[in-house]
Amino acid sequence: MIAAFHAPDIYYAGLSPVIALTVAICVVLLTAVFQPLRRTAPALTLIALATTAGLLIWQGGEEIDLVSGALRLDDLAIAISLIAVLSAAFAVLLSIREPAVEQAGSGEYHALLLGSVLGMALLAQAQNLVSLFVAIETLSIPLYILCATDLRRERSLEAGLKYLIIGSLGSATLLYGLAFLYGGSGSTDFAGIAAGIGQKGVTGDPLVLIGIALAAVGLAFKTSIAPFHQWTPDVYQGAPTPITGFMAVATKAAAFAVFVRFFDVALISEASEWQPALAVLAAASIVIGNVGALGQSSLKRLLGYSGIAQAGYILGGLVVASEAGVNALVFYLVAYAFMNFAAFAVVVARERETIYGDDIRAVQGLGAERPLLAWPLTISMLGLAGLPATAGFIGKLYLIEALVEGDYTWLAVFIAVGTMISLAYYLRVVAAMWMRPGGETSAAAPAIVGASPEADPIDPEAGRRMYLVAPALLAAAAVVIFGVIPQPLVEFAEHAGASLF
Amino acid sequence: MAIEWYVVLSSLIFAVGAMGILTRRSPIVILLCLELMLNAGNLALIAFSRMVGNQEGQVFALVVMVVAACEVVIGLGIIVAIFRRKLPLDVDELRELQG
């Protein structure tokens, strides 16, 4: 006799974005096997990302627990997943004709990219320690490989190995922290942890405190918050540039999503314990990132250090543990995404067009030579510096407002001071573009930087190719539009913040 | 037997792993040390699972084992790629990128 069997109820609509990504990984990977389909991988990836974005928008406004409470689909998860999907789409466009793609195989490269996006979508939804850990590894492991895909370049392999070691160190620390939190609260569920800690009625249980500290360190590794940032400039410089752009934006967004959900849901009752600690980390990031960027001559390293400083600003939104803080954090993540897309698209174009690689000399004279590339980079730099009429300015304004409301005025002062320091290096890039003569005229400088035998062939038309110019222009336009008319983006961020509190 | 012994043992293993990553120079030994750190987490999870009296920690530990295997596979893959390029297998010698 067959016993009665009740299949579990599966809410397929809520899982549909994740399912779409999983199917896409298999399909894109299979194109690598069939010779005639090899060239279709980028197009298939873009279609899959568009489908996922469509499904995410369709699920907008949903608030539901999935898979026995392991995942939670809400507006915060949807907002962060959309950022991840969008940045993957940008990375696919920037990867067209990238040497790393030829090295790794187009199907494999794009399947790994989709795998990382899947991890991010899961991470943004995770509300259980197990799903948190699995999602963070699903996000990271494909990225370790993607960093090392440019097999001919020693730097790429070195970046892959460094990222793997540091990333795994972060994951192991995070895991140890999660184990202690489980021991302290008796549950792996975020709600269960909050209840378990609340039941004891005391703040300051040593198991819980050790767990919070170690978990914060692990997540700080992933979001490149000082003093756990040392890998960032090295890995950003060594990885293929489209992947650097993807990592800079999407990893940060996804890791901050889980940072927010973990600390503002599971550990909210211990807020008075972790708020000062995270505030100090944020202040340290702002100082170290901005000071470190001052002396950089490589644009990718400069953007890496600037990313550390920006992570410090964004962490400010979490420190206050309020709805206004989460709103500001999501707003800033979107603004940060567009500013970085514009910058990285230009860096990719100049890397292929000049002999200087990612050195700042590659953009000298860009204003006269390629105005369509110079404007996006200018807008991006001014936006990252937080000048008015850009989304970066509005984002900083919201962060500072949230910090002042949450009695962290001193951290708001750090943001203001950091912004002033950052002008020095952002404006250096702008000055190089508009005030220096072009690279050809100053060719007296020996062509050493990019001209090693490993250097990629130069494509003198790269700065005119639409798949590089169009993303740069679109992203820059978004930075200006959301800087002048921030209302749509504010509403987007407010939906995300409201889903937690 | 008190839970403290297990927690102390796991923290010792964790510290050995962390020290190894910071001081050893061969990437293969570093991967071994990463395994030590992850398994320290596993030991803590299983001990806490016993203490708390539910199975969630044990399930978590099983999942971690799978993830740890994935990480090592990728790590060894990258090390083989470096070896094929005839680059030195020494994390101190790999310093084309300077922070």
pLDDT mean values, one per 10 residues, chain A (501 residues): 78 92 95 85 94 94 87 93 95 90 88 96 94 95 93 88 93 95 90 85 77 93 90 92 94 93 88 90 94 91 94 93 92 95 93 86 87 92 92 93 93 93 92 79 44 60 84 94 92 88 81
Which residues on chain A are in Cβ contact (under 8 Å) with B51?
A: 183
DSSP lists the bridge partners of residue A64 as: A73
- In B, minimum Cα distance to A148 occurs at B78
- Measuring CA to CA, how many Å separate A310 from each of A160, A425, A427, A431? 23, 14, 16, 22
Do A253 and A284 fall into the same domain?
no
Whether A196 contacts A229, CB under 8 Å: no
Whether B31 maps to a domain, the answer reads yes
Whether A215 maps to a domain, the answer reads no
The pair of three-digit structure tokens given for residue B91, joined into one six-digit string:
């994390």
Do A149 and A284 fall into the same domain?
no
Whether A406 maps to a domain, the answer reads yes
Beta A71-73 vs A64-66: how paired, if at all?
antiparallel
Closest CA to A248 of A175, A319, A301: A301
The answer to whether the Cβ–Cβ distance between B27 and A144 falls below 8 Å is no
Supply φ then ψ for residue A312, to 5 degrees. Answer: -65, -45
Whether A49 contacts A117, CB under 8 Å: yes
Q: Is the pTM of this model over 0.90?
A: yes
Kindly provide the b/e burial profile for residues A62-71, where b requires at least 16 CB atoms within 10 angstroms of the residue's own CB.
beebbbeebb
Whether B97 maps to a domain, the answer reads no
* Widest Cα–Cα separation across chain A: 88
Total count of domains within chain A: 2
Which residues on chain A are in Cβ contact (under 8 Å) with B49?
A: 182
The pair of three-digit structure tokens given for residue A195, joined into one six-digit string:
């209840």
pLDDT at position A443 is 42
pLDDT at position A344 is 94
| Confidence band of B97 (pLDDT split at 50, 70, 90) | low
Domain hosting A71: range is 10-166+226-264
Which residues on chain A are in Cβ contact (under 8 Å) with B18?
A: 169
Gap between the Cα atoms of A486 and A283, Å rounded: 27
Do A63 and A150 fall into the same domain?
yes
Whether B38 contacts B64, CB under 8 Å: yes
- Chain B: closest CA distance from residue A350 (Å): 20
The answer to whether the Cβ–Cβ distance between A155 and B97 falls below 8 Å is yes
Number of neighbouring beta carbons within 10 Å of residue A414: 23
Percent pLDDT > 70 in chain B is 95
Whether B89 maps to a domain, the answer reads no
Whether A56 contacts A85, CB under 8 Å: yes
Which residues on chain B are in Cβ contact (under 8 Å) with A159?
A: 97
pLDDT at position A36 is 83
Q: What is the mean pLDDT of residues B22-36?
A: 91
The answer to whether the Cβ–Cβ distance between A176 and B40 falls below 8 Å is yes
Do A245 and A309 fall into the same domain?
no
- Chain A: closest CA distance from residue B93 (Å): 10
Do A147 and A242 fall into the same domain?
yes
pLDDT at position B39 is 95
Supply φ then ψ for residue A298, to 5 degrees. Answer: -90, 130
**CATH code of the domain in which B29 resides:** 1.10.287.3510
Q: Of A241, A264, A287, which one is at a domain's C-terminal end?
A: A264
Of the candidates A144, A160, A175, which has its C-beta nearest B64's C-beta? A175
Of the candidates A134, A148, A234, which has its C-beta nearest B67's C-beta? A134
pLDDT at position A354 is 85
Do A253 and A287 fall into the same domain?
no
Which residues on chain A are in Cβ contact (under 8 Å) with B38?
A: 171-172, 175
Gap between the Cα atoms of A10 and B84, Å rounded: 47
Do A281 and A345 fall into the same domain?
yes
Whether A313 contacts A269, CB under 8 Å: no
- Chain A: closest CA distance from residue B96 (Å): 6
Tell me which residues of chain A have a C-beta less than 8 Å from any C-beta of chain B: 129-130, 133-134, 137, 141, 144-145, 148, 151, 154-155, 157-162, 164-165, 168-169, 171-173, 175-176, 178-180, 182-183, 186-188, 230, 233-235, 237-238
End-to-end CA distance of chain A: 50
Of the candidates A158, A180, A188, which has its C-beta nearest B97's C-beta? A158
Do A280 and A236 fall into the same domain?
no
Do A258 and A384 fall into the same domain?
no
SS3 A424: helix
pLDDT at position A450 is 45
Gap between the Cα atoms of A458 and A446, Å rounded: 17
What one-character DSSP code corresponds to residue A128?
B
Q: Of A202, A237, A264, which one is at a domain's C-terminal end?
A: A264
Do A315 and A232 fall into the same domain?
no
Chain centroid to CA A454: 29
The answer to whether the Cβ–Cβ distance between B85 and A151 falls below 8 Å is yes
The answer to whether the Cβ–Cβ distance between B60 and A160 falls below 8 Å is no
What one-character DSSP code corresponds to residue A360?
G
Do A90 and A155 fall into the same domain?
yes
Domain hosting B80: range is 3-84
Whether A5 maps to a domain, the answer reads no
The pair of three-digit structure tokens given for residue A98, joined into one six-digit string:
């990238």
CA-based angle A169:A90:A400, to the nearest 5? 70
Whether A158 maps to a domain, the answer reads yes
- Chain B: closest CA distance from residue A133 (Å): 8
- Tokens 């489980």 correspond to A182
Total count of domains within chain B: 1
Q: Which residue has the higher pLDDT, A256 or B84?
A: A256
Of the candidates A129, A137, A179, which has its C-beta nearest B67's C-beta? A137
Whether B34 contacts B21, CB under 8 Å: yes
Cite the DSSP H helix spans in B1-99: 3-23, 27-52, 56-84
Do A139 and A238 fall into the same domain?
yes
Supply φ then ψ for residue A454, to 5 degrees. Answer: -80, -10
